[in-house]
C-alpha cells in the first residue's frame, strides 16, 4: 500500500454570512496516493477551491482533518508549505516583474538555488525562455499558467496543488499542460488538481466527483465508466431544444441532456432504441439515434441527479 | 535573514518599475513646500479700511493719513452715511469702518478727549481681531504723539509695552509652518503608502502565493514596510533641502535629532497605515479610511492652528494623536534649537505609539481573506 500525498477526512467548512451559510464542504473524505494525479471534478461552486485552499494550509476547516504528505494541515502548516507547490485559480504572480525575476524571487524565498530549480522545471522553462525578459502581466493566458507552474515547482515540492489550472486557457495549451503534469508524475511529484472539465478528468489517475460540498464517488476514470449501470443512447441532428423537449415529454428517458452537438439519453428500464426512434419521429424531424459508450460526464450527471433526488 | 533581503529587493523593484511612483516621491515634497507655506499664511495684510471723516480738520486728516500709510490697511475714504457704508461690511467688501465724528479736533484741543468709532467685520475672526488691534494701536500711537508735545503728558506716568518676540523675532509665519509641513509630508507619504501596501497584494491575488511561501508574518510585514520607511526619510531630506533653499530655514538644533524623531515617528504612523491596509479589502476602502483619519490627525495636531486655542476636551484628545508630538518636537528643534533632553516626553510618547500600533498591526494581519 502506498502512502498518501493528501488525505482528508470528514472535512466541513461553512462560510458565515450569505443567508445563514450553506456548507461549502459537507463531510468530504478522500485519499490521494503518492505519485498519482488525483483529480477533483465538479461544477463551479461545488467546493473545489475551498478544498484546495485547505490542502494548501490557507484556511482551516470547521471540522475534520487534512493530512498533507504525512503532516497535519492545521498544526504543521510551516512544514507543509515547504513541500507543496500551490497554484491558485487566479493568476497570482507579480505582474510587474519579468518571467525571470518571478522565478528567481520564488526560488530565493523558498531558499533554493535557482539553477537547481531550473533543472527541475527545464521542460516548461524552455518554452518560456525566449520571453524571459517580458513582464508577467504582458503574457498570454497559456504562458502565465506555465510561469505559475514554474514558480510552484521551483522548490521541488512533493505535492502540487493546482486549483483549476486550465480555466481560461486555450485548448492547445490545455493539452500541453496535461502532458507536463504526466511528466511531473514521472519524476515523482504527486498532483492534486481540480477542474470543471470532464475531458481533463479522463487524464487523471483517480478522480473524485464533487458536487454541493459532497464527494459523489472516488475511483479511477476507467472504473467509474465501467461501473456505469445503464445504457446510453445518443441522438444527433435536428434542433437540440425540440429534441430535448420531445425526449423529456416522451416518458421513455430517465434523463436527457445536451452533450456537445448531440444529446445523451439515459433510457428508462426496458425502453429500447426502437421505441425512442418511433417516438421521436413524430415530434422532432430529422435525426439519428444510436447506442453510445458511457463517458465520465454521463457518470457525473447520473451520480449528481441521484444525489439531488435523495436530498 | 537573507530572505528578508530578497523580499526588500522585490519591493524596490515594484516601486521603481512603477512609472508614477518615483516621480511622486520627489514631486510631492517640493510642490507642497512651495505652495502650502504661502497658502497657510497667517499674516494679516490688506485689510480693507473705510474711513468716514466727518470732522474734516487737520487732526482728523493726520489720523486718517497715519492709518492709510500702514501696510496692514488698504484704506479708502467714504462720504456716505455710516449706514450706507455699513452695507460694505455686510457684503464683505469692507473689513473695518473708522468713523471720525464731527468735533473730533475740537474735543482734542479743548478737553484733550475725543472718540472715534471702529466697526469690524468679524466673519474672519483672525483678520477682524488683528485688524481691530492694529487700528487701535495706531490710534493710541497717534494720541500719545499728540500729547508728547504738551507739558501735561510729560508729567503723566506712562506704561509702555515693548514686545520681544522670542524664537521667531520677525513673526515670520513661514518659520512656523514649514517645519510642520515637513511632518505633514512624511505622515502623508508614509501613511498612504503603508495603507495601500498590503491591500494591493490582496487585490492582485499575490497575497495568496506569498501566504504559502515559508515567510513569517513579521518578516513579510517588515519587508513591505522597510521601503516605505526609506521613502519617508528621503522625503524628509528633500523637504529639509527645499525649506533651506527656498525659505532659508535651517534647524537651530541638531539634524540628527530630527532624523531620530522622524525615524521613530514613521514606524508609528506607518503601523497605523498598515492597520488600515489589513482591515480593508480594497485599495479604495483603504484610501477612504486613511483620508478620514489623516484629516483628524492633522487638524488636531497643531500644524495649522495652535493647540492652546482648542477647547479643553479637544486638547485632551490631541494627547492621543501621535502627530501632535512630532510637530512639537520638529518645531522646537527648528525654531528653538531644542535638544533631546528638552523633548524627552515627546520622544517617549512617540515610542509608545510605535510599540502599540506595531503590535496591533502585526496582530491584525491575517493570512487568509476568509
ipTM reported for the complex, 2 dp? 0.77
Do the Cβ atoms of A94 and B10 come within 8 Å?
yes
Assigned domain for A304 exists: no
Report residue B45 as a C-alpha cell. 495684510
Q: CA angle, corner A224, sides to A222 and A228, nearest 5?
A: 115
Q: Are A155 and A26 members of one domain?
A: yes
Contacts of residue A244, defined as CB under 8 A and 6 or more positions apart, other chains included, come to A256, A257, A258, A263
Do the Cβ atoms of B205 and A111 come within 8 Å?
no
Assigned domain for A301 exists: no
Q: Kindly list the residues of chain B whose beta carbon comes within 8 Å of any beta carbon in chain A.
A: 2-3, 6-7, 10, 13-14, 17-18, 204-209, 211-215, 367-368, 370
Chain A hits for B10, Cβ within 8 Å: 94, 97, 105
pLDDT score recorded for residue A283: 62
The CATH number for A274's domain is 3.30.70.100
Q: Which helix (H) or strand (E) holds A199?
A: helix A198-201
pLDDT over threshold 60, residue B157: no
- Counting DSSP H helices and E strands in chain A, the numbers are 12, 14
pLDDT over threshold 70, residue B2: yes
Q: Which residues pair with A170 in a beta bridge?
A: none
pLDDT score recorded for residue B149: 60
Q: Are A117 and A266 members of one domain?
A: no
Of A220, A246, A267, the domain-final residue? A220
Q: Are A182 and A265 members of one domain?
A: no
pLDDT over threshold 70, residue A23: yes
Distance, CA of B255 to CA of B156 (rounded, Å): 52
Chain B residue with Cα closest to A58: B368
| Pairing between β-strand A63-68 and β-strand A37-41 as defined by DSSP bridges | unpaired
Assigned domain for A269 exists: yes
Highest mean pLDDT among A40-54, B108-122, B170-184, B356-370: A40-54
Assigned domain for A300 exists: no
Q: What is the mean pLDDT of residues B104-109?
A: 84
Q: Are A180 and A238 members of one domain?
A: no
Looking at the complex, report in whole angstroms how far the Cα of residue B218 sits from the nearest Cα belonging to chain A.
14
**Beta strands in chain A, from DSSP E residues, in sequence order:** 4-14, 23-33, 37-41, 63-68, 71-72, 84-87, 159-163, 190-195, 206-211, 214-219, 232-236, 253-259, 262-267, 288-292
Q: Are A245 and A143 members of one domain?
A: no
Distance, CA of A117 to CA of A123 (rounded, Å): 12
Q: Are A34 and A159 members of one domain?
A: yes
Q: Are A29 and A76 members of one domain?
A: yes
Looking at the complex, report in whole angstroms how far the Cα of residue B214 sits from the nearest Cα belonging to chain A.
6
Domain housing A237: 229-293
Do the Cβ atoms of A15 and B368 come within 8 Å?
no
Reported confidence tier of residue B177, pLDDT bands at 50, 70, 90: confident
Assigned domain for A302 exists: no
Q: Are A111 and A161 members of one domain?
A: yes
pLDDT over threshold 60, residue B368: no
Assigned domain for A98 exists: yes
Do the Cβ atoms of A96 and B17 come within 8 Å?
yes
A95-122 burial string, b = 16+ CB within 10 Å, else e?
A: bbbbbbbbbbbbbbbbeeeeeebbebbe
Report residue B289 as a C-alpha cell. 479610511
The number of C-alpha atoms within 13 Å of A163 and in the hemisphere containing its C-beta is 24
Distance, CA of B160 to CA of B181 (rounded, Å): 37
Distance, CA of B66 to CA of B136 (rounded, Å): 12
Distance, CA of A94 to CA of A100 (rounded, Å): 11
Chain B hits for A93, Cβ within 8 Å: 206, 209
Assigned domain for A310 exists: no
pLDDT score recorded for residue B158: 56
Q: Kindly list the residues of chain A whose beta carbon comes within 8 Å of any beta carbon in chain B.
A: 15, 53, 56-59, 78, 81-82, 84, 86, 88, 90-97, 101, 105-106, 108-111, 151
Q: Are A118 and A19 members of one domain?
A: yes
3-class SS string, chain B: CHHHHHHHHHHHHHHHHCCCHHHHHHHHHHHHHHHHHHHCCCCCCCEEEEEEECCCCHHHHHHHHHHHHCCCEEEEEECCCHHHHHHHHHCCCCCEEEEECCCHHHHHHHHCCCCCEEEECCCCHHHHHHHHHHHHHHHHHHHHHHHHCCHHHHHCCCCCCCCCCCCCCCCCHHHHHHHHHHHHHHHHHHHHHHHHHHHHHHHHCHHHHHHCCCCCHHHHHHHHHHHHHHHHHHHHHHHHHHHHHHHCCCCCCCHHHHHHHHHHHHHHHHHHHHHHHHHCCCHHHHHHHHHHHHHHHHHCCCCCCCHHHCCHHHHHHHCCCHHHHHHHHHHHHHHHCCCHHHHHHHHHHHHHHHHHHHHHHHHHCCCCCC
Reported confidence tier of residue B185, pLDDT bands at 50, 70, 90: very high
| Identity of the residue in A94, A97, A108 whose CB atom sits nearest the CB atom of B6 | A108
The CATH number for A70's domain is 3.40.50.300
Percent of chain A whose pLDDT exceeds 70: 94
Q: What is the pLDDT of residues A224-238, one digit of tens each?
A: 888 887 778 887 776
Chain B hits for A86, Cβ within 8 Å: 208-209, 212
Assigned domain for A105 exists: yes
Comparing A295 with B160, the larger pLDDT belongs to A295
Contacts of residue B333, defined as CB under 8 A and 6 or more positions apart, other chains included, come to B179, B251, B252, B253, B254, B257, B258, B261, B343
**DSSP structure class, residue A203:** T
Q: Are A198 and A254 members of one domain?
A: no
| Identity of the residue in A59, A96, A97 whose CB atom sits nearest the CB atom of B368 | A59
Of A220, A249, A269, the domain-final residue? A220
Q: Are A160 and A243 members of one domain?
A: no
pTM (two decimals)? 0.79
Looking at the complex, report in whole angstroms how far the Cα of residue B16 sits from the nearest Cα belonging to chain A.
10
Q: What is the pLDDT of residues A122-170, one digit of tens each?
A: 888 888 889 989 999 898 888 898 899 999 988 889 999 999 998 888 8
Q: Map out the domains of chain B with their CATH numbers.
A: 2-40+172-364 (no CATH), 47-155 (3.40.1710.10)
| Pairing between β-strand A288-292 and β-strand A262-267 as defined by DSSP bridges | unpaired
Number of independent structural domains in chain A: 2
Q: What is the pLDDT of residues B312-354, one digit of tens each?
A: 998 999 999 999 999 999 999 998 888 999 999 999 999 999 9
Report residue A97 as a C-alpha cell. 516583474
Is residue B328 within 8 A of residue B249, CB to CB? The reply is no
Q: What is the mean pLDDT of residues B232-257?
A: 92
Report residue A161 as a C-alpha cell. 496543488
3-class SS string, A36-101: CEEEEECCCCCCHHHHHHHHCCCCCCCEEEEEECCEECCCCHHHHHHHEEEECCCCCCCCCCEHHH
Q: Are A101 and A76 members of one domain?
A: yes
Distance, CA of B224 to CA of B211 (rounded, Å): 14
Amino acid at each position: 500500500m502506498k502512502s498518501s500525498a493528501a488525505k482528508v477526512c470528514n472535512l466541513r467548512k461553512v462560510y458565515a454570512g450569505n443567508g445563514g451559510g450553506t456548507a461549502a464542504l459537507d463531510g468530504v473524505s478522500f485519499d490521494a496516493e503518492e505519485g498519482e494525479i488525483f483529480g477533483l471534478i465538479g461544477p463551479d461552486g461545488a467546493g473545489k477551491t475551498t478544498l484546495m485552499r485547505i490542502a494548501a494550509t490557507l484556511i482551516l476547516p470547521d471540522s475534520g482533518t487534512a493530512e498533507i504528505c504525512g503532516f497535519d494541515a492545521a498544526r504543521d502548516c510551516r512544514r507543509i508549505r515547504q513541500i507543496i507547490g500551490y497554484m491558485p485559480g487566479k493568476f497570482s504572480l507579480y505582474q510587474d516583474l519579468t518571467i525571470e525575476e518571478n522565478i528567481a524571487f520564488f526560488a530565493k524565498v523558498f531558499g533554493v538555488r535557482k539553477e537547481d530549480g531550473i533543472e527541475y522545471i527545464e521542460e516548461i522553462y524552455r518554452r518560456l525562455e525566449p520571453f524571459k525578459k517580458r513582464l508577467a502581466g504582458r503574457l498570454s493566458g497559456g504562458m502565465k499558467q506555465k510561469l505559475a507552474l514554474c514558480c510552484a515547482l521551483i522548490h521541488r515540492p512533493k505535492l502540487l496543488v493546482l486549483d483549476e489550472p486550465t480555466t481560461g486557457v486555450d485548448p492547445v495549451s490545455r493539452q500541453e499542460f496535461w502532458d507536463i503534469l504526466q511528466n511531473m508524475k514521472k519524476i515523482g511529484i504527486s498532483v492534486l488538481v481540480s477542474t470543471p472539465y470532464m475531458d481533463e478528468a479522463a487524464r487523471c489517475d483517480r478522480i473524485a466527483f464533487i458536487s454541493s460540498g459532497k464527494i459523489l464517488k472516488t475511483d479511477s476514470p476507467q472504473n467509474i465508466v465501467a461501473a456505469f449501470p445503464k445504457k446510453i443512447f445518443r441522438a444527433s441532428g435536428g434542433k437540440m431544444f425540440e429534441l430535448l423537449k420531445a425526449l423529456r415529454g416522451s416518458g421513455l428517458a430517465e434523463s436527457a441532456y445536451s452533450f456537445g452537438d448531440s444529446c445523451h439519453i439515459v433510457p428508462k428500464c426496458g425502453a429500447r432504441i426502437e421505441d425512442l426512434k418511433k417516438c421521436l419521429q413524430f415530434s422532432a424531424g430529422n435525426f439519428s439515434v444510436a447506442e453510445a459508450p458511457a463517458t465520465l460526464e454521463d457518470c457525473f450527471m447520473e451520480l449528481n441527479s441521484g444525489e439531488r433526488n435523495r436530498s | 535573514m537573507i530572505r528578508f533581503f530578497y523580499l526588500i529587493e522585490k519591493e524596490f523593484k515594484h516601486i521603481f518599475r512603477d512609472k508614477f511612483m518615483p516621480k511622486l516621491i520627489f514631486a510631492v515634497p517640493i510642490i507642497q513646500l512651495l505652495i502650502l507655506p504661502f497658502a497657510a499664511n497667517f499674516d494679516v495684510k490688506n485689510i480693507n479700511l473705510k474711513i468716514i471723516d466727518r470732522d474734516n480738520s487737520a487732526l482728523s486728516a493726520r489720523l486718517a493719513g497715519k492709518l492709510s500709510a500702514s501696510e496692514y490697511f488698504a484704506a479708502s475714504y467714504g462720504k456716505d452715511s455710516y449706514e450706507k457704508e455699513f452695507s460694505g461690511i455686510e457684503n464683505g467688501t469692507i473689513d473695518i469702518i473708522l468713523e471720525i465724528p464731527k468735533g473730533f479736533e475740537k474735543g482734542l484741543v479743548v478737553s484733550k478727549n475725543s472718540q472715534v468709532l471702529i466697526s469690524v467685520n468679524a466673519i474672519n475672526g483672525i483678520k477682524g481681531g488683528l485688524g481691530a488691534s492694529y487700528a487701535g494701536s495706531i490710534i493710541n500711537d497717534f494720541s500719545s504723539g499728540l500729547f508728547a508735545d504738551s507739558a501735561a503728558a510729560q508729567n503723566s506716568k506712562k506704561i509702555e509695552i515693548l514686545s520681544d518676540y522670542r524664537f521667531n523675532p520677525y513673526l515670520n509665519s513661514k518659520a512656523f509652518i514649514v517645519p510642520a509641513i515637513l511632518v505633514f509630508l512624511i505622515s502623508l507619504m508614509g501613511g498612504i503608502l503603508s495603507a495601500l501596501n498590503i491591500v494591493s497584494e490582496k487585490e492582485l491575488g499575490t497575497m495568496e502565493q506569498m501566504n504559502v511561501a515559508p515567510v513569517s508574518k513579521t518578516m513579510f510585514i517588515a519587508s513591505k514596510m522597510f521601503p516605505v520607511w526609506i521613502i519617508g526619510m528621503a522625503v524628509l531630506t528633500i523637504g529639509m533641502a527645499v525649506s533651506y533653499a527656498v525659505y532659508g530655514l535651517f534647524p537651530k538644533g541638531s539634524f540628527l535629532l530630527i532624523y531620530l524623531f522622524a525615524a521613530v515617528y514613521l514606524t508609528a504612523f506607518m503601523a497605523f497605515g498598515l492597520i488600515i491596509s489589513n482591515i480593508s479589502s480594497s485599495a479604495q476602502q483603504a484610501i477612504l479610511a486613511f483620508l478620514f483619519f489623516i484629516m483628524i490627525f492633522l487638524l488636531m495636531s497643531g500644524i495649522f492652528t495652535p493647540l492652546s486655542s482648542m477647547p479643553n476636551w479637544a486638547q485632551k484628545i490631541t494627547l492621543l494623536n501621535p502627530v501632535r508630538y512630532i510637530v512639537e518636537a520638529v518645531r522646537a528643534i527648528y525654531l528653538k534649537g531644542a535638544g533631546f533632553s528638552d523633548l524627552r516626553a515627546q520622544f517617549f510618547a512617540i515610542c509608545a505609539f510605535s510599540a502599540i500600533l506595531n503590535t496591533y498591526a502585526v496582530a491584525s494581519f491575517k493570512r487568509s481573506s476568509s
